[in-house]
């Protein structure tokens, strides 16, 4: 949970750690924003599970997808692939 805002001033902690078990959802870019976007999720699970799912897709199918992680941070497919190659990414 190191990448979540602290309660003091609501600023992110700069530890370089990622919370792989945070809740996350996979969306099509076109439906990721908006008031009812939560209903448009293609898949839900942990942040690590959403990254693994994106990496299993053919490259041509990744570009339209984003991961929305707890805390309203969106990760592009390119960012997800890069995160999957980190040494601390869960296997």
Supply the pLDDT for residue 1. Answer: 44
Could you please report the per-residue DSSP string of 26-74? EEEGGGSSSTTGGGG-SEEEEHHHHHHHHHHS-HHHHTTEEEEETTTEE
Supply the pLDDT for residue 72. Answer: 66
| Domain locations along the chain | 23-84
Checking if the pLDDT of 76 tops 60, the result is yes
Tens of pLDDT, residues 3-48 = 555 555 555 555 556 789 999 999 998 865 555 555 788 999 999 9
Q: Mean pLDDT throughout 62-73?
A: 87
């Amino acid at each position: 949970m190191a990448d979540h805002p602290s309660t003091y001033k609501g600023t992110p902690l700069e530890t370089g750690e990622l919370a792989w078990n945070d809740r996350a959802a996979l969306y099509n870019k076109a439906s990721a924003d908006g008031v009812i976007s939560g209903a448009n999720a293609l898949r839900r699970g942990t942040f690590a599970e959403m990254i693994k799912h994106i990496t299993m897709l053919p490259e041509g199918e990744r570009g339209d997808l984003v991961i929305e992680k707890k805390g309203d941070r969106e990760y592009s497919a390119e960012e997800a692939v890069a995160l999957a190659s980190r040494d601390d990414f869960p296997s």
